[in-house]
Structure 1
Amino acid sequence: MTTSWTAFTVEQADHVATVNLVGPGKGNAMGPDFWRELPLLFGELDADPQVRAIVLVGSGKNFSYGLDLPAMAGDFAPLMGDRALAEPRTTFHAMVKRLQAAITAVADCRKPVVTAVQGWCIGGGVDLISAADIRYASADAKFSVREVKVAMVADVGSFARLPRIISDGHLRELALTGKDIDAARAEKIGLVNEVFDDVEGAVAAAQRTAAEIAANPPLVVQGVKDVLDHSRSAAVDDSLRYVAAWNAAFLPSEDLQEAIASVFEKRPPQFRGR
């Protein structure tokens, strides 16, 4: 692979590609470069016959802080104020569909994706790991479906894919409270397969599993993934379409403006239900 990426680095050895999140936002936050490059990168990996499995990791102390809200604030600007009419809502709806498609490129990649999580995995980070096939974590990992705390309904994939990973009660607890959970709790509820003492152990486990997958007949591996995905694909697609339309209709609010303002002003938000 010769393409140069801004938000990722890619290494390839023994039929395993290792994709590393590198920002450029703090904590590998997901800004414009991430969303533009992710589907292109996974499209290349999907088409590369030398790649049979993919390991997805984050650089530094954290996997990802999720959506880079300051960097993406311009995409929400048309929804602010009293005149969020059909045109800005349509533009926003298209943006949500584009972000959804980026995460879906990971889920639909024919090459199995194994991820290792360390530190914070927030919001969009959970969207991303929910699109992976297998998830490991280091003991210091912390997870949060935090969109409710910034006056949003998570719309990029968590609500579409997590119901097939964790139980309904655990998903509702995470989604309705926006609470943080540690790696031990994540393993207990089935969000991650196994927890390791440190990030090195988690990454090593991901590499071992990817190597085991890569040693199997590649077309059969792709067939196994295709068959496993078949029963859930229609439900995932339906959920993504519904939440994109819902947010385009209902996301504009004083609470959303307050959430964005509080991020820039580095203070707790004060929501009023308006």
Structure 2
Amino acid sequence: AHTLCILEIPAEKSIITDTTNVESLKTIQYLERNLKTTRMDYDQQQRSERPNFFVPIRGPNEVNENDRVCLECQVTPIGDSNMTYTWYKNGQELSSSSRIATSNDFGYVFLEIAAANGDDSGVYMLKIANNMGEAISSHQLRVKQFPTIDTQCQHPETYKQIQYMENRRGRPIQQQQPSSSIDGESPKFTKHLNSVDNVNEGDYIRLETRVEPEMDEKLLIEWYKNGQLLTLGSRITSNFDFGLVILEIIGAKYEDTGVYTCR
């Protein structure tokens, strides 16, 4: 045996638009009307307000080289879409770059300088303007640069030797007979030439010797090959530096074979 019945339940609306509290709805509608009127009055007031610095530019007056610098201020009116912001340095309009950035947000205005250098020293000025007028604020900034290179010599004697070596470098060797005595001291070799063998064509050859006096600017050096005065050039060069005498031969040839004498 069995029994049955039919049950039908109507679906409710997905969003209930009818209020369950009529008095509360009237209060909300009243508040919304007043809020809209107040907002319109506020916007009208903002559009009719002259620009002003609520807080003038502030920030460090002196920084070290490579420091980060941030200048900031507060301005009114807030939210004025007609407001313009222009930064100047020493009277010249300042352009933004990868190192210098400007920004403004809800009445706060910023100028940021990354890795300050000596050229950033000066008077910074911000001009704000809208349809009702303009206002200006300025700030002095000084960047202390690192000390320059000390050019004073700490070792005078060493400096004299360096000057002598630099003056001698590149000076052509005079081809003339030296005197037997220079400033009362005869020249002498403290290191003699060594013979070179097992040399192939194209090799680099370096002959060197040492002579005294080392600091005599009048000392003359001459090279001979097989008793004949050696002609120097781009392939065969000679240098005399602080007592060291060098003969260099680049790309040796068979014709370079012989007895070399330094006098």
TM-score, reference length from structure 1: 0.19
Larger strand fraction of residues = 2
Scaled by the length of structure 2, the TM-score of the pair is: 0.20
User: 1 or 2 for the larger relative contact order (CA 8 Å, sep ≥6)?
Assistant: 1
Larger Rg: 2
